[in-house]
Structures are given as C-alpha cells and as structure tokens.
Amino acid sequence: MARNREETTDVQENGVDETTSVLDLGLEDVPDETFVEGEQRLRSIKPAKIHVSKESGKKSIALQLEVIDEPLAALIFHYQAMPDPSDETRVANRKKRDLIAMCEAFGIEYSPLDLNAFDKGEAWANVTITEDPQYGRQMRVQSFIVGA
C-alpha cells in the first residue's frame, strides 16, 4: 500500500525521512573507521543490558563502548559472560572474577548490580583487533584494567 507524503513527513530518524535523497546525506567525505589496540580508555555509550544467546540460552551483560581518545575508532560491542547453572565451578568462578573486574574498572558496585550505572561510565581496558568471518574487522576487550 502506497503512503502519501503527508503520512511520511513526520517520520524522521536522525534527520532522514522517506523524502530525503541519498545525495542530501553528504556521503562523499565519510572518514574510514579506525581500529586501535593496547590499553585504551573506553566509555559506555548506553546503559548495559542483559543479552541471551540464541544458540546456548546463556546470559551475558552487553555493553556498547567507544574509545574516548579516538573519535574515528569503531565501536566495541562487548559481551561479558555471566555464570550459568550448567557451568563447571572453575568456569563459573572465572566468569565471576571477570564480572568483578569489569565493575571495578568502571567504578560500579556489583552487589547489587545496576545496569544503568554503566551509562556514560569510563574504564581502561586491553583492546585487541580480530577478524571475524561474519562481522569483519572488530575491536574486542581482552580484559579490563582495575585500578587504572
């Protein structure tokens, strides 16, 4: 069913509606994303959320992070595994230690954990660059740095 212009003019997202031409978006001079590794200062750009894996059903805390000192750097999508009842004790304890380190790096209390506390929070982390067959080049948090 075709919609008329009056129905679409108020539907805008980021200044773009159905009447915007691709030529109006300024796509000529878009800088390439950069990828950095090593110790980086990161900022969470939204509150954390609980992510449930479609494959395993296991939960993780999902963070969307930016590299503070690199405005052109790609965003980092970090998934911090949460302990699962099916985990062996040593695996569950490793996940707990990693969660504690992440919270301490962000300066966030973890008992009880408030996912909104990550919003705009900053932390230092060791970042690596990986090549993912599905998503291409990605930056990943290898570990969070506590006490930086």
3-13 per-position pLDDT tens digit = 433 444 444 55
Q: What is the pLDDT of residues 107-148, one digit of tens each?
A: 999 888 999 999 999 999 999 999 989 989 999 999 999 986
Mean pLDDT of the chain: 87
Look at residue 63 and tell me whether its pLDDT is greater than 90.
Answer: yes
Greatest mean pLDDT among 9-23, 25-39, 85-99 lies in: 85-99
> Which of the four pLDDT bands, split at 50, 70 and 90, describes residue 14?
low
3-state class (DSSP) for residue 140: strand
Q: How confident is the model at residue 22 (pLDDT cuts 50, 70, 90)?
A: low
In this prediction the pTM is 0.78
Spell out a b/e string for 11-42, using b for 16 or more CB atoms within 10 Å of the CB, else e. eeeeeeeeeeeeeeeeeeeeeeeebeeeebeb
